Amino acid sequence: MNAASRRDANAGTLDTGFLEGTLGFTIRLCQLNVFDDFIDRLSGLDLRPAEFSILCLIADNPGCRASRIAECLCIKRPNFVPLLSGLEQRKLVVRRRSETDGRFQDLFLTALGRRVVTKAKSVVAEQEQYMADRLGPRKRDELVNALRMVARLDLRADREGWRVKES
Amino acid sequence: MNAASRRDANAGTLDTGFLEGTLGFTIRLCQLNVFDDFIDRLSGLDLRPAEFSILCLIADNPGCRASRIAECLCIKRPNFVPLLSGLEQRKLVVRRRSETDGRFQDLFLTALGRRVVTKAKSVVAEQEQYMADRLGPRKRDELVNALRMVARLDLRADREGWRVKES
DNA sequence: TATTGTTATACTCTATAACTATA
DNA sequence: TATAGTTATAGAGTATAACAATA
């Protein structure tokens, strides 16, 4: 039973009008459903969503600094350390101290890491394709575009006493 | 600095093509941004997202059983107990044993609870209105509808060896 | 002095097993 | 026996402060 059907099972007579009409609540339900399935599909490769994202970014940006990957994924640096250490212990990733600046660590995939991320991407692509088939390609693209737009909104811009100098 | 701008700050030269093209990743970024702001807006009323949702459902369904509210919000019963207890200690909610079946607890808002949820809904409505203004009303409604559709998808339906008998 | 990576730590959210009381 | 609520507990995920190494 997935999140959606578990929820629907007994909620038939509940008035959920206000919540279901909000973006915040529908985003949460949507994320629960998609992530539950995502985690399930990738469990065979023993990859959590964060680990998959890290491997993807290193695959497409070999030699990138660790802190940039963490930033791009909105993962705080202290929390990024054990994630990377785990991937390195599993021989999927190598950390190499930068030659030009000893503070940085440049990240690379191992040959095994490249094989794993290729397989993982194809598994994720299946989930994405399944959702695209159900939504239809147009609605699917509109959904991704709308989500990107909301993700980039500065939601605090309409409130006072907030904007301390940004730069 | 919100989640979106924090991410953009240093990610300019990173290739995020694969991840940004997936529904899963964009949903996550979107949820981070919306929830960060949601939590911030409701912090003045000392309400977390889950607490707000519970109050909303009790407000619109007075006398509803506790387990149904939890189910509707995809909150496991053990995790629901301290949430309800907190709201009851704050005199926002009352639990009343059902007269017809002593196992159930019927939930009601106090007068204070009704005042708080009314105020909280108006705060949330401001955030929703701000997002709707940026997206435009049509795109906003299409987004909510698409999210509802994805939230209800049975994402495991395309895989074998999964569906044990549902009922 | 500022930044990267790191450690330690704490708090929130979530998940499971087992207990109780009621049916 | 089955279900609702509860307790205890463990595991993720996430947050901040402080330190070492480097610049």
Instruction: Give the residue whose CA sits closest to D7 at C1'.
Output: B78
Smallest Cα distance from A90 to chain B, Å? 22
Q: Yes or no: is domain B47-151 CATH 1.20.58.220?
A: no
B151–A30 C-beta distance less than 8 A: yes
pLDDT at B2: 44
DSSP state, A103?
Answer: T
Q: B124 to each of A99, A157, B77, how far by Cα in Å?
A: 50, 15, 26
Give per-residue pLDDT as tens, B77-131.
999 999 999 999 999 999 999 999 999 999 999 999 999 999 999 999 999 999 9
Q: Which CATH number fits domain A24-151: 1.10.10.10, 3.40.50.280, 3.40.190.10, 1.20.950.20?
A: 1.10.10.10
Whether residue B76 contacts residue B70, with contact meaning beta carbons closer than 8 Å, is answered with: yes
pLDDT tens, per residue, chain A with 167 residues: 444 444 443 345 899 989 999 999 999 999 999 999 999 999 999 999 999 999 999 999 999 999 999 999 999 999 999 999 999 999 999 999 999 999 999 999 999 999 999 999 999 999 999 999 999 999 999 999 999 999 999 998 877 654 444 33
Instruction: Say which DSSP state B45 is in.
Output: G
Residue closest to D18, CA→C1'? A78
Phi, psi (deg, nearest 5) at residue A119: -65, -45
Name the residue with higher pLDDT: B5 or A131.
Answer: A131
- Cβ-proximal residues to A63 (8 Å cutoff; 6+ apart), any chain: A106, A107, A108
Does residue A87 contact residue A93 with C-beta atoms inside 8 Å? yes
Q: Per the CB < 8 Å rule, is B131 touching A150? A: yes
CA of B142 to C1' of D21 (A): 52
Q: Distance (Å) from CA A65 to C1' C5?
A: 11
CB contact under 8 A, B7 and A49: no
Q: Which nucleotides of D are covered by protein (CB under 7 A)?
A: 3-9, 12-18, 21-23
